[in-house]
Structure 1
Amino acid sequence: MLPRTHCGDFTVMHIGQTVRLNGWTQTNRDHGGVVFLDVRDRSGLVQVVVHPDTAEIHKLAHAMRQQDVIEVVGEVIARSEEAVNPKLPTGEIEIKATEIVILNSAETPPFMVEDDCDTSEQIRLEYRYLDLRRPKMQRLMELRHRVTHAARNYLDSQSFLEIETPILNKSTPEGARDYLVPSRVYPGSFFALPQSPQIFKQLLMVAGMDRYYQIARCFRDEDLRADRQPEFTQVDIELSFANQDEVMAVAEGLLRAMFDAGVGIRLPEEFPRITYHEAMDKYGLDRPDVRFDLEHVNITELMKKVEFKVFRDPADKGGLVKVMRVPGGASSLSRKQIDDYTKFVSIYGARGLAWIKVNDKSDLPGGLQSPIVKFLPEEILAEMLEACSAENGDLLFFGAGDTTVVNDALGHLRVKLGQDLGLVAENDHRFVWVVDFPMFAWNADEKRPEALHHPFTAPSAEDLDKLESDPLNICSQAYDLVWNGTEIGGGSIRIHNPETQARVFKVLGISDEEADAKFGFLVNALKYGAPPHGGLAFGLDRVLSLMAGVDSIRDVIAFPKTQKAADPMSDAPSEVADEQWKELGLRKRPTIKES
């Protein structure tokens, strides 16, 4: 039997050869008795021609339907000059069929299996095996393969070991809800699916593995968005005897290899860095998009001098007042657009959006247009304009109130303005490390500090002596990598000293008994010669979706879940038989019907 030749591999070099191909019929066209079949497999598409002088084959080809699975034997011939298709890699040749076998007939698919299908995502996911047959989806799966292959090759070259960590694990919540798996052997006990391999990769460092990596499956039972899935994949690494700079250098090299293999983009040899506080001060978000220059200016101290309560109250009571200058915005943004932006910031808790149009800064206050100008003294207006480097024609937006709300609202407004005003250039890839994160954040509900990242993150060496006395004002050795305003990965140097780990648990309000119950095996391991170590994880699905320019990470996952964490193809999750409940020692609670 002839060896199989893939449909997209044919070139003029094959002319005159007899070949065998397999694939799916994409189209069937009859031109004056000559039947043309477009046959596709993963490699691409080729045209097969069937002439009437081969009566049996011609009849079969004429009756063939879209998506029939076929085998074709024939001769590779050159297309006539007028029939050459320069848009098709195989457009200079065609296959003159001498044999055709239908390997499997297909029913009419629920949507056109082509890139331009306009069916809903729900239907695409219900028939995902057909959706994946589309060329676009196959290109995305090939992209995923190339990127993960490049990640493995790079990490292998850096002496990392690929080691698998457990999927069935102990529940050690890291912020999101665990997916729980009941144990049949231990009735009433549960395994948890891993939210990350965090503890086990630290234990591998204690075990002397030195450099670990894993393309790790992770699970989080949380509310979903376009960039979230209940099960997702991380490129996970951990290094022993490494400081923050060394971990970040490995991560940069890994990302360069992934981008080069995935989309042929050469990333810079070194990524810039910005501190967490600088990011929040200038951009309002800890994942700043640095492709454009709109920046915030803190005018809280200045606003303590005014009587205008909207600004004065937050300035006096520990809040925040900021201004953001939009160059040329006075003429480019209408009052309706400003009102729309006011509605937009309300999504993030802002009660309003004050603004000033700078028409003539030499004429104060007459050269300024805004309902709030009359509440601000001339000298304050002059200082404010100077602080934000305002020029004639600019528009100033203000945020005032709770620090978190102001940063969140103005930070997202900045991103929206960058998009709306065309400040973001296409194919501009900007990476920035955000470093020196706070070690803790204040949990107002529980009235205690909580770990901003996770409780195994090491505090800054300079701040270690303030761990108990001033926990909310110390920095951690944590770092996030941001790409065009999206966090794609993060990590930290870990606590390797058991005494320091115990101190952190106490700051977090975790008792010795609770620490032993949740993390005892890790804490015990630290007592047996744990090396200094640190690591990082990239969200592979998120990186791939950004590389591919798709709106949802579902497009780069072969079999994703919907935003409701369901699989319409397999109908998961589903009920299980009563016998399984009994085997697990569980009882089903009656469903409460809504009135």
Structure 2
Amino acid sequence: MRTHYCAEVNENLVGQKVELVGWVNSHRDHGGVIFIDLRDKSGIVQIVADPADSTKAHKVAEEIKDEYVLKVKGLVRLRGEGLENPKLKTGKIEVVAEEIIIENKSEVLPFQIGDKSVNEELRLKYRYLDLRDPNSLNTFILRSKVTKAIRDYFESNGFLDVETPILTKSTPEGARDYLVPSRIHPGEFYALPQSPQLFKQILMVAGFDRYYQIAKCFRDEDLRADRQPEFTQVDVEMSFVEEDDVIAAIEGMIKEAFKVAGVEVSLPIPRMTYAEAMEKYGSDKPDLRFDLPMVDVIDEFVDSNNEIFSTIAKDKKNNRFKALKVPGGDKFYSRKMLKELENFVRKFGAKGLAYIQVKEEGLKGPIVKFMSEESLNKMIDKLKPEVGDIIFFGAGDKKTVLDYMGRLRVKIANDMGLIDENEYKFTWIVDFPMFEKDDNGNPTPLHHPFTMPDMDTWDEEDFESIQSIAYDLVLNGYEIGGGSIRIHKEEIQEKVFKMLGIDEMEAKEKFGFLLDALKFGAPPHGGFALGLDRVIMLMTKTDNIRDVIAFPKTQKAQCLLTGAPGEVDKSQLKELHIRVKKPKADNE
């Protein structure tokens, strides 16, 4: 239907006839001559409908409205002197319409294309209109190019693209499964995969050596701005490798992927231990685009004349006393703003927020009087504050203090504009704990139960001290991917299951097919999974993952475009041997 895309029409075509198709981006009547901006995926070109050139085309042009679909035949000519539009790729030319055909009309739009101030639910309901925004199109052009770069990288490095099942067995992997009832097997269910974890390990047992897949994954969990119930994962597994081999392969992929977005990633990417990340930044996904590290000052409060402070400081294993020096913070934060910061950290378990202001006349703040002169000098020597700085303090149990002080660090950086939005700061987080305590104080895997523990650190009496051979890749405060070396020896897997309280019968029931496979010559292997949606989100500098997914769900896991989830016919439920029990109303 066309000879060119709109943005392909240029000075080289002057004097030639072209046939174009697209949507009416805008139209203007200038004293009888009608100007139409015609848009397709490539961009915009100006169409001129002048009755002196074609009364028929001009008559049709009088009928058109925004977002009508047109087919236009016309002659390319240069625009008049002083009428060029440098903002358009086609700004030096225009097309004089000889024929205009209205292929389809459009009703009045519920919102203007590209208006991001419109309620997001309305935009998601009419997602096809939201996607007409050239900025949205550019996002998906980038996503397509990044995906191709990833595929090209793995294909050129000997990886095999293998699809794994979507209908599979429900296994405990940290989040709720989406369940699919079986019609053929009444009362039994498939699960949609949270990840291809078990299958990719089985592929290593099968001798495939290097596997990758751009896989759909599903998790029925509470949503937020950077999380969706279905998401895309770049999934990787490699045989006969150690941690460094996997990290090197992933770094190569990251370099190629980000090159598409015009970002040069320097290799190797720096590494940081989990312990250092938590102690300095209060997070295992630290944003390193700004400094503001937390400094340990617990020793300086052991001899405090405040009993609460000294008691906290005497238990160095379970408690923390952290200082956060903010250069220029005393000049920036008013008393009212400081109160707002205190209210902020209280939401995350803090009992208050102590601080010291660094004034010309010296240190000012209630906490000063609780410290000996010697301890105060030691702390000042550590922090090296300058006049105009402010030092915030967090004290209490380790987990709570690291959490709220880490959040405070990020809030301060945002408040004070310390973050360079154009910077990309990568880091690997390594040496993760193998286990963490659940709500009952029992061990639960920090990653998953097939992660290889560092057996040199194995201690059944102190499971929190056991480290794993696991690694996460962090970018600008987001975990964009993670992986580990896997357990390939039966005796190690049994030790892990025993630590988790999983007996032989339960292990067989939940993971039997994998455990059986590991008995038949399983090679050493490890892998990685990258969250593709989150990476594109960061590349395009949006803070909403829904912007980079063509047809996303809301934070209530609803598709407003299709109305999913929805009720189904009773006949379908009957076939599946399911009876729906309606929840009782609050007043029943």
Counterpart amino acid of 1:342? E
| C-alpha contact (below 8 Å) 1:310/1:400 kept by paired residues | no
Aligned to 2:436, the other structure's residue is in SS state: strand
Shift of 1:389: 2.7
Match of 2:28 in 1: 29
Match of 1:160 in 2: 159
Q: Confirm or deny that 1:439 pairs with 2:434.
A: yes
Shift of 1:310: 3.2
Aligned to 1:343, the other structure's residue is in SS state: helix
| C-alpha contact (below 8 Å) 1:18/1:74 kept by paired residues | yes
The runs of 5 or more residues in structure 1 that have no matched partner are: 361-365
Name the CA distance, whole Å, in 1 between partners of 2:539 and 2:103: 37
Q: Confirm or deny that 1:378 pairs with 2:376.
A: no
Aligned to 2:411, the other structure's residue is in SS state: helix
| C-alpha contact (below 8 Å) 1:174/1:195 kept by paired residues | yes
Name the CA distance, whole Å, in 2 between partners of 1:469 and 1:526: 28
| C-alpha contact (below 8 Å) 1:359/1:369 kept by paired residues | yes
Match of 2:272 in 1: 274
Aligned to 2:82, the other structure's residue is in SS state: helix
The runs of 5 or more residues in structure 2 that have no matched partner are: none
Match of 2:42 in 1: 43
Name the CA distance, whole Å, in 2 between partners of 1:426 and 1:127: 30
Match of 2:330 in 1: 330
Instruction: Report the TM-score when normalising by structure 2.
Output: 0.97
Q: Confirm or deny that 1:239 pairs with 2:234.
A: no
- Matched length: 584
Counterpart amino acid of 1:382? N
Match of 2:456 in 1: 462
Spell out, residue by residue over 1:426-459, the C-alpha distance to the aligned partner (whole angstroms, 9 max, x if none): 42211111100001101132x3111001111101
User: 380-389 or 162-171, which moves further after superposition?
Assistant: 380-389
Match of 1:474 in 2: 466
Match of 1:307 in 2: 305
Counterpart amino acid of 2:334? S
Shift of 1:387: 2.7
User: 305-314 or 495-504, which moves further after superposition?
Assistant: 305-314
Match of 2:109 in 1: 109
Q: Confirm or deny that 1:483 pairs with 2:475.
A: yes
Name the CA distance, whole Å, in 1 between partners of 2:140 and 2:263: 18
Shift of 1:461: 4.2
Shift of 1:553: 0.6
Match of 1:363 in 2: none
Match of 1:85 in 2: 85
Counterpart amino acid of 2:125? E
| C-alpha contact (below 8 Å) 2:303/2:372 kept by paired residues | no
Spell out, residue by residue over 1:117-155, the C-alpha distance to the aligned partner (whole angstroms, 9 max, x if none): 532111100000111111111111111111111111111
Name the CA distance, whole Å, in 1 between partners of 2:324 and 2:270: 23
> What percentage of aligned pairs have identical amino acids?
52
2:406 corresponds, among 406, 411, 414, to 411
User: 176-185 or 368-377, which moves further after superposition?
Assistant: 368-377
Name the CA distance, whole Å, in 2 between partners of 1:43 and 1:452: 46
Shift of 1:390: 3.0
Shift of 1:527: 0.6
Superposition CA RMSD, Å:
1.5
Name the CA distance, whole Å, in 2 between partners of 1:150 and 1:537: 16
Shift of 1:408: 0.5
User: 279-288 or 421-430, which moves further after superposition?
Assistant: 421-430
Aligned to 1:337, the other structure's residue is in SS state: helix
Name the CA distance, whole Å, in 2 between partners of 1:467 and 1:12: 74
Shift of 1:512: 0.9
| C-alpha contact (below 8 Å) 2:56/2:99 kept by paired residues | no
Name the CA distance, whole Å, in 2 between partners of 1:555 and 1:426: 18
| C-alpha contact (below 8 Å) 2:300/2:376 kept by paired residues | no
Shift of 1:540: 0.7
Spell out, residue by residue over 1:277-303, the C-alpha distance to the aligned partner (whole angstroms, 9 max, x if none): 111111111111222221111122332
Instruction: Report the TM-score when normalising by structure 1.
Output: 0.96
| C-alpha contact (below 8 Å) 1:467/1:504 kept by paired residues | no
Name the CA distance, whole Å, in 2 between partners of 1:117 and 1:515: 50
- The verdict on how the C-alpha distance between 1:399 and 1:118 changes in structure 2, with shifts beyond 3 A counting, is closer
Match of 2:575 in 1: 583
| C-alpha contact (below 8 Å) 2:27/2:37 kept by paired residues | yes
